[in-house]
Chain A
Amino acid sequence: MAADPALRLQGVGKRFGRTWALRSVDLEVQPGQLVALIGPNGAGKTTLLKAVGGLHRATTGTTEVLGFTLPEDEDMVRVHSTLLPPHGYLYEQLTGLENLRFARLMAGVRPSRRELDAALERVDLVEAGDERVGGYSSGMKKRLAIARLLLRPVELVLMDEPYASLDAGGIDLVDTIIGELRGSGATVLVASHRWERAIREADRLVVMERGRITWTGTPGEWMEKREGPADTRRGRSEARGADEGDTGTGG
Chain B
Amino acid sequence: MEVWLRTWAILWKDILIEVRTKGTFNAMAFFAALILFIFSFAIGPDFDLLRRIAAGLLWVGITFTGLLALARTYHSEELAGGLEALLLYPGEPRAIFLGKLVGNLAVLLLVEVILYPVAAVLFHMDLTGKILPVAGIAFLGTLGFSVIGTFYAALTLHLRAREVMLPLLVLPLLVPVLLGAVSATAALVDPAAAGGVAGWVRLLIAFDVLYFVVCTWTFPVLLER
Contact = CB atoms under 8 A, between A and B. Distances in A.
* A touches B in complex, CB < 8 A: yes
B169 interface: no
B6 A106 contact: yes
A143 B84 CA distance: 20
Contacts of B2: 108
Contacts of B16: 93-94, 98
Given A55-B84, A85-B88, A108 B21 contact: no
B91 A91 contact: no
A78 interface: yes
A90 interface: yes
A9 B84 CA distance: 22
B81 A108 contact: no
A88 interface: yes
Nearest to B10: A106
A136 interface: no
Interface in B117-153: none
Contacts of B90: 75-76, 78-79, 107-108
A75 B91 contact: yes
A105 interface: yes
B159 interface: no
Interface centre among A82, A92, A107, A132 (most CB of B within 10 A): A107
Interface string A103-142: 1011111100000000000000000000010000000000
A87 interface: yes
Contacts of B12: 102, 105
Contacts of A85: 81, 84, 88
Interface in B1-46: 1-2, 5-6, 8-10, 12-13, 16-17, 20-21
A83 interface: yes
A83 B88 contact: yes
Nearest to B3: A108
Contacts of A210: none
Given A79-B90, A94-B17, A105 B9 contact: yes
Nearest to A71: B224
Given A108-B6, A109-B5, A110-B5, A91 B79 contact: yes
Interface residues of B, number: 28
A41 to B, nearest CB: 17
Nearest to A80: B90
A54 B76 CA distance: 22
A66 B152 CA distance: 35
Contact of A57 (B8, B91, B224): B224
Interface string B62-82: 000000000000001001111
Contact of B17 (A76, A93, A107): A93
B225 A56 contact: yes
A50 B85 CA distance: 12
B87 interface: yes
B206 interface: no
A74 B82 CA distance: 19
Contact of A89 (B5, B84, B224): B84
Given A105-B5, A108-B6, A109-B5, A87 B91 contact: no
Contacts of A55: 84, 87-88, 225
B6 A91 contact: no
Nearest to B20: A93
B222 interface: no
Given A71-B224, A106-B6, 13 more contacts: A50-B84, A50-B225, A78-B90, A88-B81, A89-B84, A89-B85, A92-B79, A98-B16, A105-B12, A106-B9, A106-B10, A106-B88, A109-B5
The 8 closest A-B pairs by CB, nearest first: A105-B9, A108-B2, A78-B90, A89-B85, A106-B89, A79-B90, A89-B81, A93-B17
13 contacts: A57-B225, A75-B90, A85-B81, A88-B81, A89-B80, A92-B80, A93-B21, A98-B13, A103-B88, A105-B5, A107-B89, A108-B90, A109-B5
Interface of B: 1-2, 5-6, 8-10, 12-13, 16-17, 20-21, 76, 79-82, 84-91, 224-225
